Structure 1
Amino acid sequence: MQQVKAVVALEKDAPVSVVTINVPAPGPGEAVVKVQACGVCHTDLHYRQGGINDEFPFLLGHEAAGIVESVGEGVTDVAPGDFVVLNWRAVCGNCRACNRGEQQYCFNTANATQKMTLADGPMAGTELSPALGIGAFAEKTLVAAGQCTKVDPTARPAAVGLLGCGVMAGLGAAINTGNVGRGDTVAVIGCGGVGMAAIAGSALAGAAKIIAVDIDDRKLEQALTMGATHTVNSKNTDPVAAIKEIVGANGAEGADVVIEAVGRPETWEQAFYARDLAGTVVLVGVPTPDMKVPSIPLIDVFGRGGSLKSSWYGDCLPSRDFPMLTDLYLQGRLDLDAFVTEEIGIDDVEAAFTKMHHGSGEQSVLRSVVIL
């Protein structure tokens, strides 16, 4: 058992606290990771607000990279000293998806069996619920060994740690789910961290036109640096009409792939009508449980053909995608550093939540990254 500092949401909608927690020695199939960097993701704010579930207290943080410190019995894929990116898709190998060779669709993923606990105060001994089974706003965390993906140790932890969630979700929405290919036209609605990653992924895949759509001119300017070729401010322009005009050569009625990275019914409807005949819509933005699919005439769904998809974690397989994307980063072909807006300390997470959507000064905040 070790005691370390960590960021915990003790109760719904209350500011987070930096507390001391107990981290057990790893049991069978588990690993303790010394966290080097962890991004501040909107999902962590959802946990703090009670938007995921009410299993407080939560140990926040999940977009992380670090060094394996120790492993439990039976662990062979990673060893102490390995540099790893943490993931929340530790595939089981036995479910229907895994048995048909589609591990990227595994929903029966593993987490650590043992629980980390609060060390001090009136709640000492209380079990913690780690965000997405990881809990990496901590000097050290306990995870299932399958949640550790080895990558090139020369990579910058603050950059490649973001592959653990938001950046992978966006890249994967374009490359894995949307199957964006050379010469395709792509529109991305919503230019937060996930949307920016979808733009970067579309550029990496060789898309000919990449249209960034948002209501914030600062984000749209930044999207151009990520690979967007056109921008549309949907605050004062009909995005469907604008997208159709941009891609309208050769009779196209919309973009080949439209990626919705907001998670709202109205923007999903925009994505539906902004795609070409037989085009693809990818929903990667996370809606709230009360949101409903818009009342689109069923004949429009039938008549336009194509695919309406959702992208869960960018349909990624960490063991396949994390090392490959890290190599592209080290080759200078994928600028993960561009997603790191600021590096902060463990005491600054609450302030980072405030900055998440509003930016800081003249620059929109894609990711604040906690350095441990």
Structure 2
Amino acid sequence: MKAAVLFEAKKPLEICDVDVAKPGPHEVLIRTVACGVCRSDLHFVDGAYPTPLPAIPGHEAAGIVEAVGDEVRTVKVGDAVVTCLSAFCGHCEFCVSGRMSLCISAEVRRQQGAAPRLSMNGEPVHQMLNLSAYAEMMLVHEHACVRVDPDMPLDRAALLGCAVTTGAGAVFNASPVTPGETVCVVGCGGIGLAAVNAAKIAGAGKIIALDPVPEKRALAEKLGATHTFDATAESTVPEVVELTKGGVHHAIEAVGREASADTAVKVLRRGGTATILGMMPLGSKVGLSALDLLGSKKLQGGLMGGNRFPVDIPRLVDFYLRGLLDLDTIIAERMPLEKINHAFDELRKGDAARSVIEFS
């Protein structure tokens, strides 16, 4: 199969022929239809986060089940599926306490010493984030994918695998928004725009979106933002605090920078919660001041939006099919796998929302 392989950080990906193994117990072979281009992959491609190499990035995907291994019970051949990097074992402490997105069990990968899922010229190719979706086929654990309504367009369904699950999850799961509460989203990329749209679905009152790019602020308004501001303007924080009469109930950071996380904290009202979704550079720190703590402000991470993806993704599909969730607006560009490096270049500029790789 054709796949985009990362051989060295800070170097372009190369389109190569890669061998994919037959599915073993609890494994599913998926023909990839579409894969979103996410900034999380860019962190590994640019060397900001370490990963074993060579590897195939890509983790926001949808496709069709081609084959299943023994003991697979959740999907069958021909099913349309969305994949998710937060693969779960189903019986560790995190899973049984309802925090499946925190599961890091090795059971979702092949045992050490077993033949690799992916290889090239007889040598292993590392599977990134349990998926490696910049490839014509994916071989994953059955708990890394979920069946979805076959009426769902798979180029849009792919976004549910990360951006929408993360952004919407911050609203629905990690920091549940009560109807009428105020929400501020810092950063209007794919995750931030999904959070804006989810806040509208949740019945939030004022929905405030912050981004330095006017075109992305316009997208946020189309998706439900009631007010937008330039995130880099010095007047923005005091304007948001004044607009909301003391600050917002929920601030969601969707960029991955210390400055944007600090902004999320600064726009909170007393008792408000800031949820940090972005992957900040390793070594970054965000905190609360003594006065913030006295005001009962809260700061939390929100890995993958605290999702329970086998439940959440079908519900998000239903939202889309009913016209509540707008995925079409989030997609800025569609392109073939051969343009993956162009997609990353566009992502580095930070001007567009989401690019999607489509497989013929």
Alignment TM-score, normalising by the size of structure 1: 0.91
Map of 1:204 onto structure 2:
201
Structure 1 residue aligned with 2:83: 86
Which of 349, 356, 360 lines up with 1:369 in the alignment?
A: 356
Within 5 A, what are the aligned runs for 1:51-90? 51-90=48-87
Q: CA deviation at 1:90?
A: 2.2
Counterpart of 1:261?
254
| TM-score when normalising by structure 2 | 0.94
How many angstroms does 1:110 deviate by? 4.8
C-alpha change, 1:167 and 1:338, in structure 2 (3 Å) is same
The counterpart of 1:280, out of the listed 250, 273, 284, is 273
The answer to whether the 8 A contact 1:44-1:131 is kept is: no
Work out which of the residue numbers 213, 216, 219 in structure 2 matches 1:216.
Answer: 213
Contact 2:216–2:353, Cα closer than 8 Å, also in 1: no
Q: Find the partner of 1:322 among 313, 320, 330.
A: 313
Q: Distance in 1 between matches of 2:103 and 2:5?
A: 28
Does structure 2 conserve the Cα–Cα contact (< 8 Å) formed by 1:30 and 1:112? no
Classify the secondary structure of the residue corresponding to 2:2: strand
Work out the number of aligned pairs and report it: 355
- Are residues 110 and 352 of structure 1, via their aligned partners in 2, closer, same or farther at CA, if it must alter by over 3 Å? farther
Which of 139, 160, 166 is the aligned partner of 1:163?
160
Q: Structure 1 CA distance, aligned partners of 2:294 and 2:253? A: 21
Instruction: Tell me the CA shift for residue 225 of structure 1.
Output: 0.7
For residues 277-326 of structure 1, the C-alpha deviation after alignment (integer angstroms, 9 at most, x for no partner) is 111111111111121225x53x2232110422110001111111000000
Aligned to 2:323: 332
Contact 1:255/1:279 (<8 A) preserved:
yes
Alpha-carbon separation, structure 2, partners of 1:130 and 1:59: 6
Q: Deviations over 1:181-208 (max 9, x none)?
A: 2111111111111111111111110111
Partner of 1:228: 225
Q: Is the 8 A contact 1:48 1:58 kept in 2?
A: no
Tell me the percent identity.
35
Distance in 2 between residues matched to 1:183 and 1:237, nearest whole Å: 27
1:20-54 Cα deviation digits (max 9, x unpaired): 00000001111110011111111222222223324
Task: Give per-residue Cα distances to partners, 1:112-164, cap 9 Å, x unaligned.
Answer: 41524443xxxx22211222110111111111111120010111111011111
Taking the aligned partners of 2:95 and 2:57, their CA distance within structure 1 comes to 29
- Could you tell me which runs of 5 or more consecutive residues in structure 2 were left unpaired when the two chains were aligned: none
What is the 5 A alignment of 1:1-372? 4-108=1-105, 110-113=107-110, 114-119=115-120, 124-248=121-245, 253-294=246-287, 296-297=288-289, 299-358=290-349, 364-372=351-359
- Over 3 Å counting, the alpha-carbon distance change for 1:160 and 1:342 in structure 2 is same
RMSD of aligned C-alpha atoms? 1.6
What residue identity is the alignment partner of 1:68? V
Work out the CA distance in 2 between the residues paired with 1:326 and 1:109. 29
The amino acid that maps onto 1:320 is V
Q: Which 4+ stretches in 1 moved above 6 angstroms?
A: none
1:101 to partner: Cα distance: 4.0
Distance in 2 separating the partners of 1:26 and 1:234: 47
Structure 2 contact 40–279 (Cα < 8 Å) conserved? no
What CA deviation, in whole Å up to 9, does each residue of 1:36-87 have, x standing for no partner? Answer: 1111111222222223324111112111101111111111111111110011
Alpha-carbon distance in structure 2 between the residues aligned to 1:345 and 1:15: 16
